[in-house]
Structure 1
Amino acid sequence: MISLAAISLTALALARNALAQGSAYSQCGGIGWAGATTSVPVTSTPLSYISWSTSSTGITSNPLTSTSATPTSSSGPTSTVPWAAGTATLLPNQLWIRADEDPEFHFYLQSKTLSMSIFYPIYVPRRPDPPTVDSPGDAVISNPATASQNNIVSGQLIQYLPSGGELYLGVYPNATGTTRLKLFWATAPQKNVTWAFQGDGVEGNVPGYTTAATGNFLACTDTSTTAPNIYLDLGAFDYLTPAGCASETLNYYNGATTVT
C-alpha cells in the first residue's frame, strides 16, 4: 500500500516541475498570467543563429538579420553627387576635369569602359589583380573615385594612365542631329579637334563644325550606360537642349584628390 508520505512527496515533485515550466514559459502564458516572467536564457546556440525571442515558444525577431531601408546611389544625373570623394592623389602636371553645372555638378571626366580586374576561384592560389584603368571608348562624366588625370598639351586633351600610357580626347566626325559631337578616347593623337583652356574651362574647336572654340558641352544619358556621355555642344549654352541631355561646362581642378 502506498503510504501518505509517498503521495505527499510525489505531489511536491509535480508542483516543483510545474513551477519550473511556468518560469521557463511564463511570458507565453497568455492574458491573466500571474506567475514569474523570466524568459529562458539562450546560451548554447552560436551567435549568428540565435533566435531572439519574446517567448520560448515561437515569435521571434532577429536583430542580426532584420532589414531596413538603405539609401542607394545612382551614377546617373542628379543634383547631389551621391559618391564619396576619391582617394587617388593627383600627379605633378596633371589635372582633374569635371562638370560644374547641375545636374551633374562635380561629375568627373573619364572613360566609359574600365578594364576589369581578374577574379580567381577560392581554390586557386591568389595572384595580384591587375589595376583598374581607363580604356579607349566613349568619354563620360561619372564617379570621382574613378576620375581620370588629364592635361591639355599642344592642342591635345590627354588622359594619363597608371600604366604610363596615354589616351587622347577626340570627337566623332558626324554630328548628332547637327547639334552635338560625341567625345571619345583614342590611343593616338586626334587631328580633327583642338583643345585649349580658357581660364579653367575646357574649350574645343572642330573645323567644319565650329567657327570658334566653344566651351559648351552636353551630358546625355543613353541605354548603354548610367554615366552621362559627353558631347561638344554646337549650339548656345542651355538653348534648345536635346531631350535626355543637360548643358554643362568642363573645368579643371588641381586639388590633391577629387571632391564632391
Structure 2
Amino acid sequence: MKYASASAACALVCVVGAAAQSGTAPEWGQCGGQGWPGPFTCPAGWGCVATNQYYSQCLQGAPASTPPSTPPTSVPGGGSPTTTSSAPSGTATLIPGNSFIRAVEDPNFHKYLQSEVLGTASDAVLGDPSNAAQFQIVSGQLVQEVADGTKLYAVVEGRSDSTVTKLKMSWSASPASGANAGTFMWSGDTVEWSIPTIQRPQLNAWLVCPDTDGNLDVYINLGNYDYQTPAGCADETIHAYTGATATA
C-alpha cells in the first residue's frame, strides 16, 4: 500500500506539472527564455518572439512557434536568471505583496524602475538593481513603496496635441487624478497603461530615453512597439519581478 500511494502521488504531481507547462501565456505575456518554467504557447493569432536568450514574448500577428519539448531549468525565486552584468544586486528584501519592476530588453536589460532622486517625487527612471524600488498596482494607480513607509504615485504628463508620440512618467506624493490620470494594470507580469482619450496600438509599449545627465527617463509609448522609435530612445516592455532581492 505504501508503494501504491507513492506511485499515485507521483502520477498526480506529474499530471499537474505537465498541465502547468502546457498552458497558454496571456497576450503580451512571457512565453519563453532561459530559465522560464512555462507556459510556452501563445493565444490563437499570437506568436512567441524571442527578444534575447532570456526573454520571449507573445506578440500579436507574429508567426506561431513550437514550445520546447522539455522546459529549461527553473530559476529559484522566479523570473530570468542573472547575467554577467557588473551592476550590483539589490540588498532590500521584497515586501510581501509588492513587486520589483524591470526591463528585459537591451540596452536596458535588468534595469529597475525607481525615482531619479531615490524615494522622492521626481522623474521615473530605470537604474541599477541596488536602488530598485518596490511597487503595487492599486485601483489603477502604480504605487511606489518608499522605505520610510510613505507612498509615491506614478503620474503621466498630458498629451498637448496629436503629434506627440511619448508621454513622460514621474512620481508624485498625491495619487494621479483628472483627465490625464489613466489606468495602470497588469497583463500577466507586464505593466500596461491606458486612458480613454488616447487609442494606443499596444498598451504595454514603453520608451526609455536618456536625458542630458544620462538618467534613463521612462515614457509611455503612444505608437507601435519597435516601430518609428524616437531618436535616442529604446523600446521597452517592463515586467514584475518577485525574487527576494533585485538581481542584475
Q: TM-score, normalised by structure 1?
A: 0.59
- SS in structure 2 of the partner of residue 226 of structure 1: coil
Instruction: Give, in whole Å, the separation in 2 of the partners of 1:152 and 1:212.
Output: 22
Identical-residue share of aligned pairs (%)? 43
1:101 equivalent in structure 2: 105
Q: 1:205 aligns with which of 194, 198, 204?
A: 194
Q: How does 1:1-260 map to 2 (within 5 A)?
A: 81-114=85-118, 134-174=119-159, 177-191=163-177, 192-211=181-200, 214-223=203-212, 225-260=213-248
Q: 1:236 to 1:213 in 2, by over 3 A?
A: closer
Residues 207 and 221 in structure 2, CA contact (< 8 A), matched pair in contact too: yes
TM-score by structure 2 length? 0.62
How far off its partner does 1:178 sit?
1.1
CA contact (8 A) 1:98 1:252 kept: yes
Give the Cα–Cα distance (whole angstroms) in 1 for the partners of residues 216 and 141 of structure 2.
22
- Give RMSD over aligned pairs: 1.9
- Measure the CA separation in 2 of the matches of 1:138 and 1:174: 17
Distance 1:175 1:215, change over 3 A: farther
| Pair 170,102 (structure 1): closer, same or farther in 2 beyond 3 Å | same
Length, aligned pairs only = 162
1:137 is paired with a residue of what secondary structure? coil
Give the Cα–Cα distance (whole angstroms) in 1 for the partners of residues 175 and 201 of structure 2: 21
- The 3 A distance-change label for structure 1 pair 207 and 91 is same
Q: How far 1:190 sits from its partner (Å)?
A: 0.8
Q: Matches of 2:94 and 2:168 in 1, distance apart?
A: 27
In 2, the alpha carbon distance for the partners of 1:194 and 1:101 equals: 24
Once the two structures are TM-superposed, the CA of residue 175 in structure 1 deviates from its matched residue by 5.3
Shift of 1:212: 7.2
The superposition leaves residues 207-239 of structure 1 with CA deviations (integer Å, 9 ceiling, x where unpaired) of 32235771000000111x323100000000000
Are the aligned partners of 2:210 and 2:216 in contact in 1 as well (CA < 8 Å)? Answer: yes
Asked if structure 1 preserves the Cα contact closer than 8 Å seen for 2:201 and 2:222, the reply is no
Structure 1: tracts of 5 or more residues without a match: 1-78, 115-133
1:96/1:147 contact within 8 Å kept: yes
